[in-house]
């Protein structure tokens, strides 16, 4: 490779950027904190392609020079509700947001306003049901296992949303309370998977462990069972802590939206003590703008009750789904609520919203090793 040739990966990125339409202030974008999972997957694929290219180049040389392991990008919240096009936005290609009606920038929306009456009643029932859940205790050396069904957008950047085929996702998250660089692993399979058949590490530093400067301790960005158990179980105290420690993604996101999204991440991707789960649901009932959706459907086709908060600054709406009888958490959905291209409409006439992604939590368990499936996997066949 001569000095005039760009490194592998950069040429492809430049070509993608050239082909993409120029951004407009009316183009939509998800909150930056929601991009992290697919950004990491995209970056790891670029790293993989770079390493593969270098391996082939060294094979043609008599005395190959050693190449240091490529550092992996930090992944803090492996969210799954993410259209495929937004992975490019996460990589810095598309960064425009919808204009906000909030002229004050970030507004600290006080917790005293509360959710609507219907949502508050439903959240109280969910909290009561969660106290009766048979939740296993998690030891420091174990991994929380989450098996989900995921469906995302495969449409073009400047075109209509086109949902891809649902695919299976398995995730293992380390419960070690000490700072770690090897946080966990994601495994996907199925037609719609981003990297089917591959175990994608969730890491905060170099793969070979040579650099531990990015090690992450247990806490808000790596919520272990032990850390969750340390949180206040009084909903007012918990909400005060969340407001103090949760930062909005940017100047357009309100505190209430940031806290709602943070709690949503925890509900879908962790195992926590029943008392703490109940406190989170009661805290959500105190957030302004939270409403109930009478009928919501997860990626597995299960109908339930939805709890939602409109993220008007990003032209999106997140929705959590709970079983109508047991009030167990089923999954979540994401909608676009405003135009995402000049002159375009998010949905058909009479339906101003369009679904851009959904997931369904099919199983939660605790296992002793990363990559290990719970015993119930044998029952699934």
Backbone dihedral angles phi then psi of residue 217, each to the nearest 5 degrees: -80, 165
Please list, in sequence order, all residues whose beta carbon lies within 8 angstroms of the beta carbon of residue 127, skipping any fewer than 6 positions away.
277, 278, 279, 281, 282
Q: What is the pLDDT of residue 221?
A: 86
Handedness of CA 189, 194, 196, 202 (dihedral sign): negative
Question: To which residue do tokens 């174990």 refer?
Answer: 142
Measure Cα distances from 59 to 49, 54, 63, 208 in Å: 15, 9, 9, 22
Over its length of 381 residues, how does the chain's per-residue pLDDT go in tens digits?
444 555 555 565 555 555 544 444 333 344 333 434 444 444 444 444 444 444 433 433 333 332 222 222 222 333 333 332 333 233 222 223 333 333 222 233 333 467 899 999 999 999 999 999 999 999 999 999 999 999 988 877 667 788 899 999 999 999 999 998 889 999 999 988 888 888 999 887 654 555 556 789 999 889 999 999 999 999 999 999 999 999 888 888 888 989 999 999 999 899 999 999 999 999 999 999 999 999 999 999 999 999 999 776 777 889 999 999 999 999 999 988 875 554 455 555 555 788 989 999 999 999 999 999 998 655 554
Q: What is the pLDDT of residue 353?
A: 82
Q: How far apart are CA 17 and CA 20, in angstroms?
A: 5
Task: Show the tokens assigned to 16.
Answer: 């993608």
> Where in the chain does DSSP place strands (E)?
143-151, 167-174, 182-189, 199-203, 290-297, 303-311, 316-322, 329-336, 354-367
Q: What is the pLDDT of residue 225?
A: 97
Q: What is the pLDDT of residue 111?
A: 38
- Which DSSP category does 165 fall into? -
Half-sphere exposure of 8 (CA within 13 A, CB side): 15
Q: How far apart are CA 36 and CA 169, in angstroms?
A: 16
Q: What is the pLDDT of residue 77?
A: 31
């Amino acid at each position: 490779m001569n000095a005039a040739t760009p490194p592998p990966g950069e040429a492809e990125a430049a070509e993608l950027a050239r082909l993409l339409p120029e951004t407009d202030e009316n183009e939509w974008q998800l909150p930056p904190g929601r991009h992290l999972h697919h950004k990491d997957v995209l970056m790891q694929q670029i790293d993989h392609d770079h390493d593969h290219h270098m391996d082939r180049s060294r094979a043609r040389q008599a005395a190959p020079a050693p190449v240091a392991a490529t550092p992996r990008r930090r992944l803090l919240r492996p969210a799954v509700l993410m259209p495929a096009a937004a992975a490019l936005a996460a990589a810095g290609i598309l960064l425009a947001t919808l204009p906000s009606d909030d002229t004050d920038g970030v507004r600290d929306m006080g917790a005293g306003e509360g959710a609507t009456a219907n949502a508050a009643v439903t959240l109280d029932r969910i909290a009561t049901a969660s106290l009766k859940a048979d939740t296993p205790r998690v030891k420091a050396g174990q991994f929380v296992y989450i098996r989900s069904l995921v469906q995302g957008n495969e449409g073009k950047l400047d075109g209509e949303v086109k949902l891809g085929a649902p695919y299976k996702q398995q995730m293992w998250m380390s419960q070690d309370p000490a700072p770690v660089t090897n946080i966990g692993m994601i495994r996907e399979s199925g037609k719609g998977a981003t990297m089917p058949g591959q175990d994608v590490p969730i890491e905060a530093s170099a793969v070979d462990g040579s650099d531990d400067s990015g090690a992450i301790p247990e806490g808000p960005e790596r919520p272990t069972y032990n850390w969750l158990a340390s949180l206040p179980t009084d909903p007012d105290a918990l909400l005060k802590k969340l407001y103090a420690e949760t930062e909005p993604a940017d100047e357009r996101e309100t505190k209430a939206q940031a806290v709602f999204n943070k709690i949503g991440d925890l509900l879908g991707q962790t195992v926590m003590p029943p008392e703490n789960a109940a406190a989170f649901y009661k805290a959500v009932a105190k957030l302004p703008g939270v409403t109930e959706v009478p009928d919501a459907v997860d990626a597995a086709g299960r109908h339930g009750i939805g709890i939602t908060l409109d993220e008007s600054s990003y032209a999106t709406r997140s929705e959590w789904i709970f079983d109508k009888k047991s009030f167990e958490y089923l999954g979540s959905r994401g909608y676009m609520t405003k135009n995402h291209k000049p002159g375009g409409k998010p949905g058909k006439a009479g339906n101003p919203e369009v679904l851009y992604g959904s997931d369904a939590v099919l199983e939660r368990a605790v296992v002793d090793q990363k990559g290990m499936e719970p015993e119930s996997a044998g029952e699934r066949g």
